[in-house]
Structure 1
Amino acid sequence: MSHSLLNRGEDPVSFENGLLRLEVTSKEVIADNVISLTLRHPLGEALPAWTPGAHVDVHVAGADGEELVRQYSLCSDPANRSVYRLGILREPASRGGSSYLHEQLQVGQQLDVSAPRNNFELREAPRYLFIAGGIGITPIIPLLEQAERNGAEWALHYGGRTRTAMAFAEEFERYGDRINLIPQDEQGFIDLAGILATPDPDTLVYCCGPGPLMDATEALTAAWPATALHMERFVNEVEANQSGDQAFQVELSLMGRTITVEPGVSVLNAVNAVGANVPHSCQEGTCGTCETIVLEGEPDHRDAVLSEEEREENEVMMVCVSRCKTPCLVLEL
């Protein structure tokens, strides 16, 4: 499955170094520590098309002046290509990204933003179960709206610390009892065990939120069909003990050369050092920009993008963090 840029070559807007410079047209506090940003092209041109579940990379200034790249889900209407809307939580341990957007960014300023990417697309199914925690609601909004347009059955379980911390909650009122809002201080945690107790081959589960919520959802859907669960993580929580990393060979099939990737060096940096020019962004295994086709060999997947099914297929890998379980990888580079 490809997680490539959406319609990059079909859009009239111009990219500079792979980025669009967009104007902030509105900035609004919509929940505790959550703002909504609306972005548009300075000349009013149509923005690159996207599908529900997509995110963009936003380039902002870090606390020490370095440029940071942060991924934020699009939560506007894909049919309206005049604007992008983002929901942004102020992270308690922010290194400058979210704190800059919350505290310093002003309406009228411009931000460098990538074309949309989608690692969280809505697959066709008769029924959907959406589970969201906190700011994880942002990619769920257009997903459930697409499910509604498709005429599918669906339900949303949306948890937050308090009602005032639950962004966009008012937008769901029109859906009635298909929405289950669960403020933790009033009702406790989402009853995942009850919700996921009975595997249903006709239901797909879409989950986004804090790591513990997604970990629990993953564990409780272990008995469900392998393709039932779909998650969007923006923090790579894959544990990798790099002390045991070994050197391995990478053959670049299109360039006709083989290189050695040493311990402590990423595949991304190694192949780009010899001119492969693999595009990249987060370098943390969360955005999917560096996805590369694997022709031979078995990758050691350490990303937070691919599903377990996609990892087992071994058709692609994220070369910024993943390595190799076999002596050699052959990549389509």
Structure 2
Amino acid sequence: MNIFEKLYLFFYLRKKKKDLKSQKKLPFPVISVGNLTVGGTGKTPFTVALACELQKRGYSPVILTRGYRGRVKAPVIVTKEMDARDVGDEPLMMAMEGLTVVKCPDRYRGGLYAIKKIGFTDRDRVVFIVDDGFQHRKLYRDVNILLVDGFKGFDKFHLIPCGPFRSPLSEISEAHMVFITKKQNEAIYQGLKEQGIKEIYFAPLKIEGVLSIDGRKIEPSGQRVFAFAGIANFQSFLTLLNDMGFKVVGYKKFIDHKKYSERALKKIFTLASEAELLVTTKKDFVKIKKFSNLPNSLCYMEISIEINSQTVDKIIDLMHNC
């Protein structure tokens, strides 16, 4: 560990100690969904899948999110009509699924806001789900869920700024359950077992399809595709498109949570002039759908995460017994 990692770890542990000392508890169960590393492990689709499963069982899930890069700082209930620039791309995606989403950097404050605004009482079966909550220790969590990317695992064991780790690898033991997402990777499973992790589950990726602007499903038949996205794991996006039966003939990669302008989109459309389809992710699409004159060739990939019923029952048992 070099000096930069040591400095990061020093301030990280100091903040952790401070947050745990002043930790607050909401009057309803709280499930945290997070990861150890920077980048996409499928937190948003996992959170959506979990919330939907809880709804089926008669619960009222409320997703608490900081709304990364969203301009609004005060607590707000996110609706699908809002602008991603105000509330963040991922909160808007979750709201578009018909879920209750509260954006607030202080998740405890956001939870209290939801209770008051919606009017929950002790009779309601409310469950708060903290999106990207593993490092957010200001709020007490009844169940701590950790996600590991099934494509990448833990390939570089270095802390920020020298690697992808936001937390030391040893903190994996703080999770009640660890889910290997996107791909059922047995090597990662065995590696976690060797670290003494007992509660390990799989949550594979499910490709719902590629949809046009008006919601029509595009059947892949070797069409030439230009792909663009601002996501953490861009290579997996390209791999999925090729595996589906599209032919990626060009692409443009942006930083995660990219904020698009008309000028940037015009450049993309020019680069994609030779392609039959222009494909992005839903996370990117929610940010550009407000622009006018979008080409008819523009499509987006819809994905989800599968959590089997028995595993959801396990989460609920932990929620009530921890």
- TM-score, normalised with respect to structure 1: 0.30
More strand by share: 1
Specify which structure has the bigger relative contact order, considering alpha-carbon pairs within 8 angstroms and separated by 6 or more residues.
2
More helix by share: 2
- TM-score, normalised with respect to structure 2: 0.30
